[in-house]
Amino acid sequence: MNQSAEQILDIAAAHLGEPYRLGARAPMLDPTWKGPWDCAEFVSWCVYRASGLLYGVKPEDPMLADAYTGYWSAQAQRDHATIAVAEAMTIPGAVLLRAPQAGKIGHIAFSDGTGGTIEAHSSTRGVIRHTAAGRRWDCGVLVPGIEYFRTELTPAYRPPEPVITVTRPLTRGPTVKRVQQALTDRQFPVGPIDGIYGPQTEHAVSLFQAAYGLVADGEVGALTLEALGLVE
pLDDT of 154? 60
Counted domains in the chain? 2
Residues 124 and 16 in one domain: yes
All residue ranges of the chain with pLDDT < 50 are 1
Residues 133 and 214 in one domain: no
Residues 91 and 142 in one domain: yes
pLDDT of 1? 42
Residues 7 and 44 in one domain: yes
- 158 inside domain: no
- 110 inside domain: yes
Query: In this structure, what CATH number is given to the domain that contains residue 190?
Result: 1.10.101.10
Q: How many CB atoms lie within 10 A of CB 168?
A: 5
pLDDT of 61? 96
pLDDT of 132? 92
- 232 inside domain: no
DSSP designation for 105: -
- 162 inside domain: no
Residues 39 and 128 in one domain: yes
Q: Is the peptide bond before 169 cis (omega within 30 degrees of 0)?
A: yes
- 132 inside domain: yes
Residues 54 and 118 in one domain: yes
User: What pTM did the predictor assign?
Assistant: 0.75
pLDDT of 232? 64
pLDDT of 118? 98
DSSP 10-49: HHHHTTTT--B-TT----TT-TT----B-HHHHHHHHHHH
- 157 inside domain: no
Identify the domain containing residue 208 by its residue range.
Answer: 171-227
Query: In this structure, what CATH number is given to the domain that contains residue 136?
Result: 3.90.1720.10
